[in-house]
Amino acid sequence: MLLALGSLVSMAQEVYPFYYPCRAEETDEWGYVDKDNEWVIRPQYDALLYETNGGMYPVSMGGKWGFVGVSGEPLVDIKYDAAVCEIDYQKGHYPVNFAAVRLRGKWAFINVQGVFVTDFKYDEVLILNGKYVIRMKSDDGKMRVGHLNKDAKEVWDE
């Protein structure tokens, strides 16, 4: 039996497939199902989240996080301490180009192909409404606040 977490799809046109996190009762593992409740990414994960725009699916095994693509292929190795991403529920309402992963206390950003666009250097990240907020301690110990633009360039608040 499948235990889907619920439907969040709007009537908006889909740019990529929208899959739902689902747990297989028999194995207690998680995977993703499509709108017809058919497995599209087989259950094999300890935990997972809804996907980000672009069809990246955050998955966890053994307490570590990574990302798989729409067919279940690995995009980012499952070796990070945390993963942060955002769903554009309205499909195209705002551009969601990046996700973030944390390793040894620092965050880095990846694009929807799973390619790193920054180094692991941010102390905090927040992804909200298509904006990628970054916080990083400067050499003088003060926390700098800014954001990444659509080209993954840092823009710091003064």
pLDDT value, residue 131: 85
pLDDT value, residue 149: 92
- φ and ψ at residue 94, rounded to 5 degrees: -145, 155
Largest CA distance in the chain: 56
pLDDT value, residue 91: 59
pLDDT, tens digit only, all 158 positions of the chain: 444 433 333 333 345 677 888 999 999 999 999 889 999 999 999 998 876 667 788 999 999 999 998 888 898 999 999 998 876 666 555 566 889 999 999 999 998 888 999 999 999 999 887 789 999 998 899 999 999 998 999 999 97
CA distance 120 to 105: 9
pLDDT value, residue 18: 75
Domain boundaries, the chain: 2-156
pLDDT value, residue 94: 59
pLDDT value, residue 13: 35
Residue 12 structure tokens: 């908006």
SS3 133: strand
User: 35: which DSSP letter?
Assistant: T
pLDDT value, residue 93: 59
